[in-house]
Chain A
Amino acid sequence: TQLLEQSPQFLSIQEGENLTVYCNSSSVFSSLQWYRQEPGEGPVLLVTVVTGGEVKKLKRLTFQFGDARKDSSLHITAAQPGDTGLYLCAGPPQSGTYKYIFGTGTRLKVLA
């Protein structure tokens, strides 16, 4: 069974600080997705990483896929209150199945 564990579970930081969220597994994934969910809304897809070692940037957010495609990280530079939310990593279904694998989530709060 594929599992995705995220750390930290909770993070409260001051505006302007940097942070990194980790998404780890013992299984290889063909790709990993990162979502952000704000309170009372559905998760919004931020990025998909596909190639081992890949780095993608989305403004102040930097996403990296591990070389072995078993882990990923999300780094936020100079966090802002608008970054507050639940960050979820997810992996696509294994061949022959339809069930997505979701990480345990990281709840981020950025204080002004």
Chain B
Amino acid sequence: SQTIHQWPATLVQPVGSPLSLECTVEGTSNPNLYWYRQAAGRGLQLLFYSVGIGQISSEVPQNLSASRPQDRQFILSSKKLLLSDSGFYLCAWSVLAGMGEQYFGPGTRLTVT
């Protein structure tokens, strides 16, 4: 069965510090991978998606970046965090031939102080 991992689960970082969040998927090959951000009590904002190694599409211009160094690894980064980067970050995967289901990781709660 497929499993998706995210770490860390919780992170408190000062403004201006770098960021690296990691997501890995097990049990499937060549998944589509996604990074979302969710503000408190709000819906999901798509940040990045990737359809293959090294292929990244950005949905929202900001100081975040994403990379996909391996088929089942997706990394969200920032060189200098802003207060507005605080939120709940979710990684998700899907398969191209599926009926549209998307599967989410447990999330990372980021607080920028």
Contact surface of A with B, Cβ cutoff 8 Å: 30-31, 33, 35, 40-45, 48, 50, 86, 88, 90-93, 98-100, 102-105, 107
Contact = CB atoms under 8 A, between A and B. Distances in A.
A88 to B, nearest CB: 7
Contacts of A105: 42-43
Given A100-B46, A102-B43, A107-B41, A41 B106 contact: yes
A104 B107 CA distance: 19
A81 to B, nearest CB: 19
Interface stretch (B63-71, B73-81, B97-105): B97-105
A93 B97 CA distance: 12
B51 interface: yes
Overall SS of chain B's interface:
strand
A98 B49 contact: yes
Nearest 6 pairs between A and B by C-beta? A92-B100, A42-B104, A31-B100, A42-B107, A43-B104, A102-B44
Nearest to A91: B100
Overall SS of chain A's interface:
loop
A100 B102 contact: yes
A33 B44 CA distance: 14
Contact of B107 (A41, A98, A99, A100): A41
Interface residues of B, number: 26
Interface of B: 6, 32, 34, 41-44, 46, 49, 51, 57, 59, 88, 90, 92, 94, 99-107, 109
A90 B102 CA distance: 9
Contacts of A90: 100, 102
B107 A50 contact: no
Contacts of B41: 86, 107
A53 B2 CA distance: 30
Nearest to A104: B43
Given A88-B44, A105-B43, A98 B101 contact: no
Given A31-B100, A33-B101, A98-B57, A103 B32 contact: no
